[in-house]
C-alpha cells in the first residue's frame, strides 16, 4: 500500500515539474499599454474620429496645444470628404461648442439640424494652423447607414509609415462596431440631458423674474401709501 502511495505521489510531482503552471488559472490577456483611446465613427461626417490625448498627439505628431478629435479617415464621397475636412485634421469646435470626444461632434450637428441650421461651422487645426470649415449637412445624410466593414478602405493619412491604418482598424473592428451601434442612443441621451438642463435653467430664470416682479410691486405699493399721507 505504501509503495502504491509513493508511486502515485511521484507521478504527481513529475507532472507538476513538467507543467509547473498547470495548477494555476491562466492569466488574463494584458491590454496594450500604448494609451490610445477608442476610435468612433461620426455619422454626421462619415469619418472615423479619435479623441486627442498625449498618446495620440505623440503617435500622429500633432502640433503642441492641439485638442479635440483627430480625423483618422474619411469615407470617399462622404460628408467630410465633400466638405473639405481631411484625414489628419483636428476638430476642436462645432458651431462654438468645444469637442472633447467623437460623440460631441454628432451631438452638436444634431442640435443644429433640429434647430433648422444645416450649415454647420467647424473649427479645426490642419498641420498646426487654424482652419474654418462650414459644412452643409442634412438629416438625410446624417441618417444614412454606414457599412462598418468598409471603414478599413476609407481614405486615411498615411504619411507616417510606422502606422498601418488597415491593420489598426482590423484590430479595433469590435470597438468600432460597438460604438457605432450605440452611437444613436448616446446622442439622444446627450440631447435629452441638454434639453432637461435648459428647461431647468428656464424655470429658474422665470422664478427669478417672478420674484423680481413681486419685489417691484411691493415697492410701488409703499410709494402710493406715502403719497396719500403727503396729500393729507
**pTM for the whole thing?**
0.70
CB-based contacts of 49-55 (< 8 A; 24+ apart in sequence):
49/91, 49/102, 49/105, 50/102, 51/100, 51/101, 51/102, 52/90
**Which tens digit of pLDDT belongs to each residue from 10-59?**
544 444 444 433 333 333 333 444 778 999 999 999 999 999 999 999 99
Domains of the chain: 40-193 (2.30.42.10)
C-alpha separations of 224 from 77, 161, 210, 216, 232 in Å: 72, 83, 21, 13, 13
**Which tens digit of pLDDT belongs to each residue from 71-93?**
999 999 999 999 999 999 999 99
**What does the pLDDT read at residue 163?**
83
**Which tens digit of pLDDT belongs to each residue from 102-148?**
999 999 999 999 999 989 999 999 988 999 999 999 999 999 999 99
Query: At residue 6, does pLDDT exceed 90?
Result: no
Amino acid at each position: 500500500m505504501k509503495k502504491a502511495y509513493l508511486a502515485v505521489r511521484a507521478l504527481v510531482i513529475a507532472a507538476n515539474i513538467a507543467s509547473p503552471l498547470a495548477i494555476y488559472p491562466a492569466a488574463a490577456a494584458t491590454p496594450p499599454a500604448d494609451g490610445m483611446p477608442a476610435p468612433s465613427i461620426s455619422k454626421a461626417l462619415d469619418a472615423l474620429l479619435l479623441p486627442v490625448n498625449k498618446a495620440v498627439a505623440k503617435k500622429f505628431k500633432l502640433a503642441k496645444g492641439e485638442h479635440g478629435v483627430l480625423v483618422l479617415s474619411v469615407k470617399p464621397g462622404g460628408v467630410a470628404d465633400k466638405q473639405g475636412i481631411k484625414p489628419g485634421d483636428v476638430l476642436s469646435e462645432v458651431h462654438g461648442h468645444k469637442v472633447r470626444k467623437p460623440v460631441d461632434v454628432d451631438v452638436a450637428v444634431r442640435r443644429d439640424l433640429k434647430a433648422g441650421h444645416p450649415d454647420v461651422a467647424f473649427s479645426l487645426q490642419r498641420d498646426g494652423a487654424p482652419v474654418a470649415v462650414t459644412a452643409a449637412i442634412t438629416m438625410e445624410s446624417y441618417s444614412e447607414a454606414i457599412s462598418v466593414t468598409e471603414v478599413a478602405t476609407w481614405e486615411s493619412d498615411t504619411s507616417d509609415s510606422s502606422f498601418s491604418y488597415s491593420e489598426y482598424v482590423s484590430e479595433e473592428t469590435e470597438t468600432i462596431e460597438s460604438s457605432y451601434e450605440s452611437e444613436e442612443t448616446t446622442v439622444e441621451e446627450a440631447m435629452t440631458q441638454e434639453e432637461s438642463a435648459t428647461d431647468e435653467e428656464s424655470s429658474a430664470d422665470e422664478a427669478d423674474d417672478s420674484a423680481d416682479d413681486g419685489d417691484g410691486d411691493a415697492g410701488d405699493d409703499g410709494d402710493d401709501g406715502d403719497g396719500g399721507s403727503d396729500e393729507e
